[in-house]
């Protein structure tokens, strides 16, 4: 019991801030008169996330610590990914502030603090050093996400999305827990560091391989990678736009955090049989490579046929998960670095795109591609911003997306032997993605305006768009900024517990 | 800001100023858009003249730290540092001057574009920045960066301001060139990953110098080098385009607005030739030998295929498009010869075809604008109504067929001279294409200018040419007026350049000499 009091709780400052903000907002929401607008709550939540972001940034130079018997670790990895999670969360909360569905935005209060709880789960995942905290925190994220998906309580599509999400997510959770139970059974401990050390001595490659596959299935649900991506388009389409933006950025980042924490710590040291007996993770590399390739191909090809903006962005996000998974499959020295850069770029370009889509959905009530037609005529700046985000998503130079993709490419070919096939698949699918991203550009700039001019962008959305555009351009033109932050973490040398 | 950065990014000022001009103020937009292309032109000419007077271009090199991809203290200090690096030599300078000249002329010719002029000029200037940057880049990443700027700018220019099938043309441009770029990116990534640098000079050093090779982060086997060069050549074959990959070129030539085609045929196609010379021969000279035969064969196929199809076309834009395919084959022939004359010929041909294609499309633009059609069957006897125009058109045709004393001849002659030295049989087959060129160009042009007048141009409103451009649609088509001063001046400048290059090829050969010498050294004599 003594430990609890002597633990260095200040290391959890960002988490405390988010938790406190969520609880305070919850109480305020309860106390507020019914007819008052809940918009300030969302602003408050965004402010909380920004505050936590600052707290995290302040802690960057601190030495790695772990408290509570290694269950909570604050190493370079945790700090780096918390920066992305908090930036993504704060930007998504700006979208919540301006959320205005047809049936009225009665539940905006819930929206704000549920998103904070989800964010808290994601942050805890980044810091977990133990299977139990890892599981509990990722579940905090997913359960909150189910609620976020269903917040338009009177809209059938939203209900359907939530239900699909719960069922799929529940199955994934069960499978992942099953996999974890094997790991626990083989080692008798839940601490990641102890597991890694124990597994170096055990020789149970088949049992461990089974655990690996079960965990991989569970995680790939969370990442929405092939073959467990089916739920994503429906959920993305049905959920409110800010929630979709949150899922595509924060949940995806959390998924990759989980992937790295679990697989790299546990399986990198475990012995294996077969092709590469040095490590189970390396021997499973072909499986991950195939999944990454399939995810890139299916995500990009199916996106070609989408008419709904949200579905299109859903498939695009599946495709981006594929690129990221390819970066993971490379297992080069640049792996964590390149994933971090990519996810950071992805936060800016994807939330930027969603912010503008949110405005269009709010205004026109539909999310068909035609809604973009002729946007350039009425709102040239807005169209230019969306154009920028789309070019970045397509990986065109001068934007963050290019720098991120270039680094993934380098990671793929720097190993010996290089993953040339995967690099080629990434190159070709990128060109396929040009078709649908440029198709949106065609809508924006070429088509005659079909609808009444949109109203001005409300404050929250315009803040999000401006921040995202600046971020996208800054990483694109001065990537040194992002790499200098990354350099602070020294290639995550303190990653292994 | 240093000289080269200023040269490359000076059109940016025009873009920024244009943003503040009202959309309806067409005159101001045209004036500003054209004026914005003048600074790079002046700077490029200045550099060209200075280089001619013995100024060493290496002094213009500039480099700033841009991004440190990884901190790997166990390797050399410079590993994985990508700098912002610009630097030119004689080869790049030629192309930069070509770009700057055609950029200004295309801006003048953009009078014909009537819709959304503001956006058009902004993207035209962006295109110019991209093209200048490609030739000024001294490092692979920045080369690629500028290359993709041209990709996006061209997509929008073709897709928004082109003819009836403009979007299809834009997409096929995007897909073919995108595939080429993607392939190029993979090659670049491999090179950067294995060597830790993207700088051309350093790369060349690391790949050739046995001592420097020890510094490679991962060694490149000879098999890997072959694959890299193969990928590189294939990537540029998409962009050249070499024959099975040429469909997009025809669509773009036909659908894009004529001033854009001037730049596209004049400069963008040459980026591929430039890339093959700079990276193919420059970085992998030994491996290039293995590919030379295939490249020469491909070149001959391009020449013959393009020429034969050009013979069958009934549409002036199609004739010119296929003639572009044919003429880019000459570039390949020169490269395939892989000797001094061949490489020189490839560069000459690139510049010459740039000028000639620009002249042709300038005139085609005028024709489409005045008469509303470029269908040869519907045209004839224009010489009476438009004598000046017909004169220029005939000059273009003569240049196209390679009349001695005009630019086209120098390129073709030197390139084939090179190939006759190494592969005479192949060269003989390819030379047939030059005869076809005479047939198709003269037949098409003479039909238009001196042939029987088939329609009355006094009331051309009933003409429904299949290939009218959006630009010409909005133009009230009255009578077939002859070239006006604002069109005659760019045409005259181009003709003058074509004659000067044709009569005095030393103008091009001078700055090239040192570059080609280095390359021949790389090739082992």
The tens digit of pLDDT for each residue in A135-169 reads: 999 999 999 999 998 888 888 888 888 898 999 89
pLDDT recorded at residue B479:
57
Q: Do B148 and A445 count as a contact with CB atoms less than 8 A apart?
A: no
B22 CB-side CA count, 13 A: 3
Among chain B residues, the shortest Cα distance to A387 is held by: B152
User: A242-246, B82-86, B479-483: which has the minimum mean pLDDT?
Assistant: B479-483
Is residue B173 scored above 90 in pLDDT? yes
pLDDT recorded at residue A50:
93
> Which of the two residues, A472 and B211, has the higher pLDDT score?
A472
Is residue B476 scored above 60 in pLDDT? no
Cα B292 to Cα B231, B280, B336, B433, B438, distances in angstroms: 15, 11, 4, 20, 28
pLDDT recorded at residue A446:
85
pLDDT recorded at residue B329:
92
The torsion defined by the Cα of B3, B4, B7 and B13, in degrees rounded to 10, comes to -80
Q: Which residues in chain A have Cβ-Cβ distances shorter than 8 Å to B146?
A: 397
Q: Do B174 and A435 count as a contact with CB atoms less than 8 A apart?
A: yes
Which element (helix H / strand E) includes B241?
none
* Phi and psi angles of residue B83, each rounded to the nearest 5 degrees, phi first: -100, 160
Residue B57 tokens, joined: 């271009």
> Which of the two residues, B212 and B301, has the higher pLDDT score?
B301
Model pTM? 0.91
The helix/strand/coil state of B372 is coil
Of A431, A478, A487, the CB nearest to B71: A487
Q: Do B152 and A391 count as a contact with CB atoms less than 8 A apart?
A: yes
Is residue B468 scored above 50 in pLDDT? no
Q: Which residues in chain B have Cβ-Cβ distances shorter than 8 Å to A337?
A: 70
Q: Which residues in chain B have Cβ-Cβ distances shorter than 8 Å to A410?
A: 69, 189, 192-193
pLDDT recorded at residue A120:
93
Is residue B464 scored above 60 in pLDDT? no
pLDDT recorded at residue A1:
52
How far apart CA B108 and CA B259 sit, in angstroms, is: 9
Q: Which residues contact A239 (CB under 8 A, 6 or more apart)?
A: A148, A149, A150, A151, A158, A161, A162, A165, A247
pLDDT recorded at residue B353:
93
Q: Do B67 and A403 count as a contact with CB atoms less than 8 A apart?
A: yes
Q: Which residues in chain A have Cβ-Cβ distances shorter than 8 Å to B174?
A: 434-435, 438
Q: Which residues in chain A have Cβ-Cβ distances shorter than 8 Å to B12?
A: none
Q: Which residues in chain B have Cβ-Cβ distances shorter than 8 Å to A418?
A: 190, 193
pLDDT recorded at residue A295:
93
Is residue B469 scored above 50 in pLDDT? no
- Of A484, A483, A473, A480, the C-alpha closest to A398 is A473
* Interval B317-324 mean pLDDT: 92
Q: Which residues in chain A have Cβ-Cβ distances shorter than 8 Å to B189?
A: 406, 409-410, 412-413, 423
Q: Which residues contact B453 (CB under 8 A, 6 or more apart)?
A: B380, B381, B384
Residue A481 tokens, joined: 């900024």
Residue ranges of chain B whose CB lies within 8 Å of a chain A CB:
65-71, 119, 141, 144-146, 148-149, 151-152, 155-156, 159-160, 167, 170-171, 174-175, 178-179, 181-183, 185-186, 189-190, 192-194, 217-218
pLDDT recorded at residue A444:
87
Q: Which residues in chain A have Cβ-Cβ distances shorter than 8 Å to B171?
A: 435, 438
Average pLDDT, chain B: 85
pLDDT recorded at residue A400:
92
Q: How would residue B332 be classed by pLDDT, with cut points 50, 70 and 90?
A: very high
The helix/strand/coil state of B331 is helix
Of B160, B171, B175, the CB nearest to A445: B160
**Cβ(A308)–Cβ(A357) below 8 Å:** no
Q: Do B144 and A397 count as a contact with CB atoms less than 8 A apart?
A: yes
How far apart CA B46 and CA B3 sit, in angstroms, is: 11
Q: How would residue B306 be classed by pLDDT, with cut points 50, 70 and 90?
A: very high
* Interval B205-233 mean pLDDT: 77
A161 CB-side CA count, 13 A: 29
Chains A and B form CB pairs within 8 A to the count of 98
How far apart CA B148 and CA B168 sit, in angstroms, is: 19
pLDDT recorded at residue B467:
42
Q: How would residue B494 be classed by pLDDT, with cut points 50, 70 and 90?
A: very high
pLDDT recorded at residue B182:
92
pLDDT recorded at residue B221:
80
Q: Which residues in chain B have Cβ-Cβ distances shorter than 8 Å to A406?
A: 141, 185, 189
Residues of chain A falling short of pLDDT 50 = none
pLDDT recorded at residue B471:
41
- Of A143, A124, A144, the C-alpha closest to A11 is A124
Residue ranges of chain A whose CB lies within 8 Å of a chain B CB:
333-334, 337, 391, 396-398, 402-403, 406-407, 409-414, 416, 418, 420, 423-424, 427-428, 430-431, 434-435, 438, 441-442, 445-446, 478-480, 483, 487, 490-491
Q: Give the mutation candidate from B185, B226, B232 for the A interface (greatest A CB count, under 10 A).
A: B185
């Amino acid at each position: 019991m003594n430990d609890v009091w002597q633990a260095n709780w200040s290391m959890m400052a960002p988490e405390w801030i988010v938790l406190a903000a969520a609880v305070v907002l919850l109480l305020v929401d309860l106390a507020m008169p019914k007819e008052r607008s809940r918009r300030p709550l969302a602003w408050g939540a965004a402010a909380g996330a920004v505050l936590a972001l600052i707290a995290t940034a302040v802690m960057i130079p601190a030495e790695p610590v772990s408290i509570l018997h290694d269950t909570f670790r604050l190493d370079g990895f945790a700090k780096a990914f918390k920066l992305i999670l908090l930036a993504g969360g704060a930007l998504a909360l700006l979208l919540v502030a301006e959320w205005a569905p047809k049936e009225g935005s009665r539940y905006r209060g819930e929206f704000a603090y549920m998103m904070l709880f989800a964010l808290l789960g994601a942050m805890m995942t980044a810091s977990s050093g133990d299977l139990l905290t890892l599981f509990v925190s990722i579940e905090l994220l997913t359960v909150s996400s189910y609620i976020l998906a269903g917040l338009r309580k009177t809209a059938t599509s939203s209900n359907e999305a939530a239900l699909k999400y719960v069922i799929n997510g529940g199955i994934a959770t069960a499978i992942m827990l099953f996999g974890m139970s094997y790991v626990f059974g083989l080692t008798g401990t839940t601490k990641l560091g102890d597991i890694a050390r124990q597994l170096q001595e055990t020789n149970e490659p088949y049992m461990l391989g089974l655990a690996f596959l079960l965990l991989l299935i569970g995680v790939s649900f969370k990442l929405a990678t092939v073959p467990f991506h089916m739920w994503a388009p429906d959920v993305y389409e049905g959920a409110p736009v800010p929630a979709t933006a949150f899922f595509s950025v924060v949940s995806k980042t959390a998924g990759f955090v989980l992937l790295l924490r679990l697989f790299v710590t546990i399986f990198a040291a475990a012995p294996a049989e077969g092709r590469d007996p040095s490590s189970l993770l390396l021997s499973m590399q072909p499986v991950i490579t195939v999944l990454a390739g399939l995810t890139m191909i299916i995500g990009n090809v199916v996106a070609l046929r989408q008419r709904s903006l949200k579905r299109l962005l859903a498939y695009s996000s599946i495709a981006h998960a594929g690129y990221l998974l390819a970066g993971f499959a490379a297992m080069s020295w640049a792996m964590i670095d390149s994933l971090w850069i990519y996810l950071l770029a992805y936060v800016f370009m994807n939330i930027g795109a969603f912010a503008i889509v949110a405005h269009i959905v709010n205004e026109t009530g539909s999310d068909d591609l035609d809604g973009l037609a002729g946007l350039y005529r009425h709102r040239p700046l807005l169209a230019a911003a969306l154009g920028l985000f789309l070019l970045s998503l397509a990986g065109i130079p001068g934007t963050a997306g290019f720098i991120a993709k270039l680094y993934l490419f380098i990671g793929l070919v720097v190993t010996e032997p290089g993953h040339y096939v995967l690099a080629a698949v990434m190159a070709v699918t990128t060109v396929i993605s040009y078709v649908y991203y440029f198709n949106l550009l065609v809508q924006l700039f070429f088509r005659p305006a079909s609808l009444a001019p949109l109203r001005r962008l409300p404050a929250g959305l315009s803040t999000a768009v401006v921040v995202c555009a600046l971020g996208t351009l800054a990483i694109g033109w001065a990537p040194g900024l992002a790499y200098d932050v990354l350099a602070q973490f020294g290639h995550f040398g303190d990653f292994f517990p | 800001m240093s000289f080269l950065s200023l040269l490359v990014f000076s059109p940016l000022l025009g873009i920024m100023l244009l943003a503040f001009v009202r959309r309806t103020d067409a005159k101001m937009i045209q004036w500003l858009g054209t004026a914005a292309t003048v600074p790079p032109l002046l700077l490029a000419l200045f550099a060209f003249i200075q280089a001619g007077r013995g100024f060493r271009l290496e002094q213009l090199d500039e480099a700033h730290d841009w991004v440190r991809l990884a901190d790997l203290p166990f390797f050399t200090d410079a590993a994985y540092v990508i700098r912002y690096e610009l630097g030119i030599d004689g080869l790049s300078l030629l192309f930069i001057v070509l770009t700057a000249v055609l950029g200004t002329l295309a801006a003048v010719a953009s009078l014909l574009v009537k819709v959304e002029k503001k956006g058009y000029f902004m993207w035209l200037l962006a295109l110019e920045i991209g093209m200048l940057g490609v030739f000024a880049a001294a490092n692979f990443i920045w080369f690629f960066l500028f290359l993709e700027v041209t990709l996006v700018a061209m997509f929008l220019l073709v897709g928004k301001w082109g003819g009836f099938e403009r979007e299809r043309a834009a997409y096929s441009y995007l897909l073919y060139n995108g595939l080429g770029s993607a392939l190029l990116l993979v090659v670049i990534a491999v090179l950067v990953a294995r060597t830790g640098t993207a700088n051309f000079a350093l790369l060349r050093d690391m790949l050739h110098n046995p001592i420097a090779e020890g510094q490679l982060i991962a060694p490149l086997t000879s098999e890997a080098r072959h694959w890299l060069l193969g990928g590189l050549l294939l990537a540029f074959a998409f962009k050249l385009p070499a024959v099975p990959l040429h469909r997009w070129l025809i669509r773009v030539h036909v659908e894009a607005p004529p001033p854009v085609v001037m730049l596209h045929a004049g400069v963008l196609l040459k980026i591929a030739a430039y890339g093959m010379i700079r990276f193919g021969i420059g970085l992998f000279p030994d491996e290039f030998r293995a590919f030379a035969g295939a490249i020469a064969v491909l070149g001959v196929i391009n020449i013959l295929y393009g020429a034969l199809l050009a013979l069958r076309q009934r549409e002036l834009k199609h004739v010119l498009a296929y003639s572009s395919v044919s003429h880019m084959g000459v570039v390949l022939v020169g490269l395939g010869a892989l000797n001094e004359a061949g490489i020189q010929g490839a560069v000459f041909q690139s510049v010459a075809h740039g000028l000639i294609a620009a002249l042709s499309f300038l005139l085609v633009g005028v024709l489409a604008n005045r008469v509303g059609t470029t269908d040869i069957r519907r045209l004839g006897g224009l010489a009476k109504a438009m004598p000046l125009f017909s004169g220029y058109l005939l000059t273009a045709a003569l240049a196209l067929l390679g009349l001695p004393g005009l630019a086209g001849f120098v390129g073709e002659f030197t390139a084939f001279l090179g190939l006759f030295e190494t592969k005479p049989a192949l060269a003989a087959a390819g030379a047939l294409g030059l005869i076809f060129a005479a047939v198709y160009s003269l037949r098409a042009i003479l039909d238009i200018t001196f042939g029987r007048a088939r329609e009355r141009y006094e009331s051309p409103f009933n003409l429904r040419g299949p290939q009218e451009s959006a630009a010409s649609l909005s133009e009230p088509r009255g009578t077939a007026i002859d070239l006006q001063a604002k069109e005659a001046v760019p045409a005259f400048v181009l003709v003058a350049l074509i004659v000067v290059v044709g009569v005095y090829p030393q103008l091009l050969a001078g700055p090239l000499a040192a570059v080609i010498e280095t390359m021949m050294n790389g090739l082992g004599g």
